[in-house]
Amino acid sequence: MLCRSRPAGDKRQSRHRSREPMIEFHILEPPGIGLVPTWQWLMATWFGTGLVVPLRAGLAVFALLPLVVLAIKLPRLVVPVFAVVIFALGVHVSSAIELATGVKDDRRIVIDEVAAFLIGASMIRQAGWRMLVPFAALFLFLDRVKPWPVAYVEQIPSGWGVMLDDLVPAVAVGLLFAVAQHFWNRQSR
């Protein structure tokens, strides 16, 4: 869906409240299209969610929420094993795209956020589904601002740097939530 807003210098007044959104959404071209197999850019962009500007990583992570909520009912190792598989696949496809395009950590690649979110979500499983949205929001915020040591980890070459720079904030937030849940449970006894 393409939504348009008025140009920045447009001073026209309207007697009616405008129903036009203030944010413009558009779809980017896939990274490495024609240079890597289709399945690689599909996985790297998490089935195209990384191509939707300005949402990208947030769309990919929040699209996972219903699946993670359902997966909480599955055996304990399902989500972590799936996350590790996605992580390994992410290292491969992001390395291939970086090699093909020469672009380090292309913003259209969101499989790193997906894998990191899944790993973090598996860490806070005991807290239940109600904690997933605050976890996702804090994780995405830290992923966006890249505090130390994330900025340092981002310098690791190839797909490893792409994937690890998201894993660090996810694990940090996951540990924070797990510790908070532990103390919350102790207080309520």
Three-state SS for 10? coil
Q: Which residues of 65-103 are buried (b: 16+ CB within 10 A; e: fewer)?
A: eeebeebbeeeeeebeebbeebbebbbbbbbbbbebeee
Cα atoms in the Cβ-side hemisphere of radius 13 Å centred on 178: 13
Q: Which pLDDT score is estimated for 20?
A: 66
Domains held by the chain: number: 1
**Is residue 8 in a domain?**
no
| Percent share of the chain, pLDDT over 70 | 87
**Is residue 97 in a domain?**
yes
Q: What is the pLDDT of residues 147-169, one digit of tens each?
A: 888 888 988 999 999 999 999 99
Identify the bridge partners of residue 27 per DSSP, sorted by sequence position: 52
Per-residue confidence band for 188, with pLDDT thresholds at 50, 70 and 90 = confident
**Is residue 16 in a domain?**
no
**Is residue 68 in a domain?**
yes
**Is residue 137 in a domain?**
yes
**Is residue 57 in a domain?**
yes
pTM: 0.84
Can you give the residue range of the structural domain that contains 34? 30-187
Three-state SS for 159? helix
**Is residue 78 in a domain?**
yes
Q: Which pLDDT score is estimated for 92?
A: 98
**Is residue 155 in a domain?**
yes
Secondary structure E strands in the chain: 26-27, 52-53
The answer on pLDDT for 1 being more than 50 is: no
